Chain A
Amino acid sequence: MFKKIFLLFFISFILTNCSDSGDDIDDNKNPISYDRSKMLIHWADKIIIPAHTAFKETLTNLDNSTTTFVASPNQTNLDDLRSKWLLSYKSWQHIEMFDIGKAEEIYFKSKMNVYPIDKSWLDNNIEKGSYDLESPNNYSSQGFPALDYMLYGIALDDVSILNKYTKNTNYINYLTALVNKMVSGTDTVINDWTAYRTTFINSFENTASSSVNLLTNDFIYYYEKGLRANKVGIPAGVFSGAPLKINVESYYIQDVSKELLLEAMDASIKFYNGTSYDGLSSGPSLKSYLTHLNSTKDGSSLSDLVTTKLEAAKTQINSLSNNFVTQIESDNSKLLITYDALQSVVVLLKVDMLQAFNINVDYVDADGD
């Protein structure tokens, strides 16, 4: 009997002695113990849906200004349309990451923000006067980048640009078609959220197809590809032999490239922190989830480390020229340093954070070997 007790004691000693060797996650804080459901409700009601609603408002303004412009293509109306385009483009930066549900189904982001545009294809669309904007062939001939071209790039100066619209109705027609397409796509996505919200918030379990896992992956994918690679890495030449100026977002106006990136960065930081779209409140988030799990990296809090690195990347962005084309020409290394700062967050999100959540990455790097 004594021996049995001793043995039990010994076994429990083994178990307790080994329990603190796990490095990152406290055993009694299983990833699923966090209230993912509340997080989804916060994401839907305080971030995603309000961001879409706000975006729709900017797009309606853009649509109205387009109507005014096509009726009277003059400098005043062009200036107005350009300013509405920029406001809407900035607002878009807050929703591009939500590539889920209807948005994913209709390839919303591919129709809204693929750049660089295929200029010769787009010119050909205008000339022919017929095109299928649903076709993937036209992803690089529509959306905000196509409007950038239509408003700044079709001729060398404003007088010549206005001439295009006054002398050739094909330009008027294409501009109108582009804006209409953006409006209809946005309506489709927003209308669907009314019904999709219920599905979305009820899918809180940890499976490859649950809302938490999908949107967390979407967020990281957006940050890695949409933000880090598209806006900085590709134009800076990280993936090519030399910088690619034409790949700068808003290539035809150029001097808003930093403004757009900062907007995207703010949207990413807000989403990570769980800050509501209106900025007035905050709720459950990737950050508070990590805090709940007490996740650490090299001895410090992972949730804080991500914040620190995100803010450092933002500081780096702020040091850049407003115009990334001129930044590439004058000192491309500043863009590369910015890329490094952005990349350092990717590692934390994609490896450390997902490990803590026990979520698998649902996309594979196409780095080809």
Chain B
Amino acid sequence: MKFKFLPLFVLCTSLFLISCSDDDVIVDNTVTPPSTYKFERDGLSTVSHGGQTTRLKMASELYSGMKSSSSTKAGLNNMFNNGEGFSDTKLNGTGKKIGSKTFASPVASATVKPMFDAMITDFTDNVIPNWSTAAANGTAGKMTDAKRTVYINAKGHELTQVFTKGLIGGMTTDQILNGYLSTAKLDGGTNKADNDAGTLVTGKNYTNMEHYWDEGFGYLYGEEADVTNPTLGNGVLLSKYAKKVNDSNSPGIGKIIYDAFIKGRAAIVAKNYTVRDAQAKIIQIHISKIIGYKAHDYLNDYVTKAAAGTPADAIHALSEGYGFVMSLQVTNDGTGNPYFTNTEANAMLTKLDNFWTVSSADCTAMANEIKTKMSL
């Protein structure tokens, strides 16, 4: 009799702990995730992200195209905006395009994508014709130092780097964080009701919500040989830099992101949207940090390399940094807001604009600002 209410008391106490824990760390054991990103229904996989894999491969060809003197404006534009003209013919005729997924989420600024079109024009109109000209302030051309040779525009930008690093934010990061993992997307239309009822997309083995999550997953892991054992470091976009950050700045970040993708996906299967959104938040914050680390590191690299008397190597680093700074505006701090707005990113890009006259002190200051604001 004395202990009649003890079990209830214990239950209440644990309820109290669960329901009132800090908003940022939602403790919930109701979703037991599998150990790998493997999800099946009736013995068949429900995971599909072929469109993302296609676009990641397209990005690799565009990266090569943006540094080849045999590229043409029409050819690069056809690849970027029409999704056609790739040497890997499996990429053609898919209907997938990078252009329409460049800074294209509901929160991205529409002013950014035209910068990519302009880079294609600048590269083919100015850099390629000056392939054998010595680059100078105001003149596109070639620059060589002891470390490397770069082909740059009149402002010193190595466009293949700006373009590709810009896509790391503009396509992969923006699509994952602000597109597929946003509640607006995941819960769009009748997704929630359909997922609750187990209503599958016509002709498919997945619900819309499951598929959206997988598509987000695909922008990071779409080029893995085996998504149940990801290595990172694939292709030219986010995966490549996730590995670099995991191997240096932030050991373990890769596992944090992967585990969150698994748990979030398991939460969708379990119809537990609170857990799902908590995992989305973890992914948003940590992928944002990858962008932050690289923007920070390349700005500092520029300063070091410029001081070391290797201007081509320095410009190469700054071109990467410029693309990552551009990418900062589509980071997501877990509340739907970027760490740096479009206006703030543009202000930094304006300071960096001409690599021939850029101030090392400005670069250092920006690197520090990124580090502080993103708690790197």
Interface residues of A (CB under 8 A from B): 3-4, 7, 10-11, 14, 17-18, 21, 233, 236-242, 298, 332-333, 336-337, 339-340, 343, 346-347, 350-351, 360-365, 367-369
Contact = CB atoms under 8 A, between A and B. Distances in A.
Interface stretch (B35-43, B76-84, B158-166, B305-313): B76-84
A241 B342 CA distance: 21
Given A351-B184, A360-B190, A340 B80 contact: no
A347 B106 contact: yes
Contact of A239 (B16, B100, B190): B100
Contacts of B111: 333, 336-337, 340
B274 interface: no
B199 interface: no
B65 to A, nearest CB: 15
A14 B106 contact: no
Interface stretch (B5-13, B237-245, B289-297): B5-13
A350 B107 CA distance: 12
Contact of A350 (B9, B19, B99, B184): B184
13 contacts: A7-B5, A10-B9, A10-B12, A21-B20, A236-B110, A332-B114, A333-B114, A337-B111, A339-B110, A340-B109, A346-B106, A347-B107, A364-B188
A239 B108 CA distance: 13
A365 B99 CA distance: 18
Given A14-B16, A241-B80, A364-B189, A369 B110 contact: no
Given A10-B12, A17-B20, A241-B82, A3 B5 contact: yes
Interface residues of B, number: 37
A336 B190 contact: no
B144 to A, nearest CB: 34
Nearest to A335: B110
Given A242-B117, A369-B51, A298 B337 contact: yes
B211 to A, nearest CB: 8
A364 B193 CA distance: 14
B229 interface: no
Interface string B80-124: 111000000000000110011000001101110110010000000
B108 to A, nearest CB: 9
Nearest to A362: B189
A96 B277 CA distance: 36
Minimum-distance CB pairs A-B, first 3: A241-B81, A364-B189, A336-B111
B183 interface: yes
B116 to A, nearest CB: 10
A7 B110 contact: no
Contacts of B16: 14, 17
A3 B12 CA distance: 14
